[in-house]
Structure 1
Amino acid sequence: MKQIYAFENKEDFEKFQDIIERFTQKLLKYQYELENKYGLRDLPKGIVWTSEELATNIFSQVPIPAYTSKDIIYISPDLKSWRELFVSQLEEHNNPNIKEFYENMSENHLFTIVGHELTHHSDLFVDEFDDERKDSIWFEEGMCEYLPRKILLSEVEFNEITKVESEMVEIFKEKYGNHSLDEFGKASYQGSLTSIMFDYWRSFLAVKYLVEVSANNDVKIVFEEYLKWDKEGRKIPLTQYFKLDSLLN
């Protein structure tokens, strides 16, 4: 997997060189975990390390500086800009605890976003990533949030992000929650940052419930059911298949 650096000047690259090198080494270990346990066979062609500005205005118009496009991962390693971005998710709400969490978001949490993008390349997901995805995007996105967080974060860190995103769902469910999770992806990256992230939070929490409650912490069982749902022809929505209606309402 190629490591590509796309910055406007040498100074920007030098500013982020150390964190990029740390992430590159850590990613090799996470890659090994995915290859051995979670169906990673074909790696992306490369990772483009770049600035938030270039990621969201030049390479793409996606408002979040981490995404995969044509088998290449684009991501900004700028922790400061990520903190500011996540604080802005609160919109007009004044929640000091959540604001403080995002203002001090750790490098570990940022690295799970890199892990998220690599997890998308697992062969355990039945939809091709670059194709139009429907019916189950929430499962893939939720699992791509859950696995790197569960594997890479400490128990304390994992519980912190779970608490924060649970609270964010409660804060914004009246404003942004008037649709089924199965509709996630139908209006991809349209609307405000918070409206986009709302379904990521819900997806993570749904997958966490499936793994830790429904499957008694056995990720393999959850994937087996997901693949069974697909093989049987997707006769009912995936949330209904997993009996998540009561959890999500």
Structure 2
Amino acid sequence: MKHIFAFERKSDYEKHQDIIDEFSEKLEGYQEILINEYALNELPKGVLWTTEELATTVFANIPLPAYTNKDLIYMSPDIDTWKKIFMEQLDGKELPDIQEFYEKHSENEVFIILAHELTHHLDLFLDEFDDEREEGIWFEEGMCFYLPRKILLNEKEFHEITQTETELVEAFKDEYGDHSLEDFGSSSYQGSISSILFDYWRSYIAVKYLVETVADNDIKSVFNEYHQWDQEGRILPLSEYFNIKDLFK
């Protein structure tokens, strides 16, 4: 993949050069695992590194400075920007353990977000980037966090982020928990950061449950069931097909 730099000032690039180099090297290792084991058959053309402002106002009009399309991954490497977003998602709630987690682990979590975007390019996912995505979006989004976390994090780190997002779901379920997993994407990027990310947290937890509890850690069998749902005509919502529609009730 190409690495493309879109900064208005040379100093912006120089400020982030070390973290870009570090992330690029780590992403290459993760990429090889996806190619060998998870049907990453066609890479995006590159990663476009840029600032939060350009990512969210010039290249797209969304509130989070990381996203992908068929050709490019757009990514802000600014750890301070992401730390601000991680704190903003708490929405003023007193959650000191979660705040401490993000204070300590922001760099790691930012790299996982970059890996998440690359994971979207797996051919194991049913929908193409140009498709109208309305069914089972939660599965792809959840798996795009589950896979890099499971592959790249050690056991302690994996447990900590799982615990953190489980606590976040619990903290925000009264505000945002009255809709199903299937509604993921119906109002994407509208509302507060916490309302946007709530569905990502739930989707990750749902996929983790499917893989580790239902499928006894057999990721491939979960993908097989996902493909079977599609081959049978998507008659049921995916969460109902997997029998987890009441997981968060």
Q: Give TM class, smaller chain.
A: over 0.9
Aligned length: 249
2:67 maps to which residue?
Answer: 67
Assess if the C-alpha contact under 8 Å between 1:84 and 1:103 holds in 2: no
| Cα deviation, residue 175, structure 1 | 0.3
1:173 maps to which residue?
Answer: 173
With 214-223 and 123-132 compared, the bigger mean Cα shift is at 123-132
CA distance in 2, matches of 1:173, 1:167: 10
CA distance in 1, matches of 2:40, 2:245: 30
2:146 maps to which residue?
Answer: 146
1:31 maps to which residue?
Answer: 31
| Cα deviation, residue 130, structure 1 | 3.1
Assess if the C-alpha contact under 8 Å between 2:181 and 2:245 holds in 1: no
Structure 1 residues 130-185: Cα deviation after superposition (integer angstroms, max 9, x where no partner): 32101110000000010001111111111111011000000111101111101101
Q: Which amino acid in the other structure matches residue 143 of structure 2?
A: M
| Cα deviation, residue 106, structure 1 | 3.7
Identity level (%):
61
CA distance in 1, matches of 2:172, 2:131: 30
2:94 maps to which residue?
Answer: 94
Assess if the C-alpha contact under 8 Å between 2:210 and 2:222 holds in 1: yes
Q: State the TM-score, normalizing by the size of structure 2.
A: 0.97
Q: Which amino acid in the other structure matches residue 34 of structure 2?
A: L
Note if 1:197 corresponds to 2:197.
Answer: yes
CA distance in 1, matches of 2:246, 2:59: 40
Assess if the C-alpha contact under 8 Å between 2:56 and 2:65 holds in 1: yes
Structure 1 residues 88-143: Cα deviation after superposition (integer angstroms, max 9, x where no partner): 11112111111111222242221111110000000000011232101110000000
* SS of residue in 2 equivalent to 1:247: coil
Q: Which amino acid in the other structure matches residue 41 of structure 1?
A: N
CA distance in 2, matches of 1:148, 1:176: 26
Assess if the C-alpha contact under 8 Å between 2:180 and 2:245 holds in 1: no
CA distance in 1, matches of 2:125, 2:248: 22
Q: Which amino acid in the other structure matches residue 183 of structure 1?
A: D
Q: Which amino acid in the other structure matches residue 82 of structure 1?
A: W
2:20 maps to which residue?
Answer: 20
RMSD over aligned Cα, in angstroms?
1.0
* SS of residue in 2 equivalent to 1:245: coil
Note if 1:238 corresponds to 2:216.
Answer: no
1:156 maps to which residue?
Answer: 156
Gaps spanning 5+ residues in structure 1: where?
Answer: none
Gaps spanning 5+ residues in structure 2: where?
Answer: none
Q: Which amino acid in the other structure matches residue 144 of structure 2?
A: C
Q: State the TM-score, normalizing by the size of structure 1.
A: 0.97
* SS of residue in 2 equivalent to 1:48: strand
Q: Which amino acid in the other structure matches residue 229 of structure 2?
A: W
Structure 1 residues 51-102: Cα deviation after superposition (integer angstroms, max 9, x where no partner): 1111112111111110013421100111111011111111121111111112
1:187 maps to which residue?
Answer: 187
* SS of residue in 2 equivalent to 1:62: coil
Q: Which amino acid in the other structure matches residue 61 of structure 1?
A: N
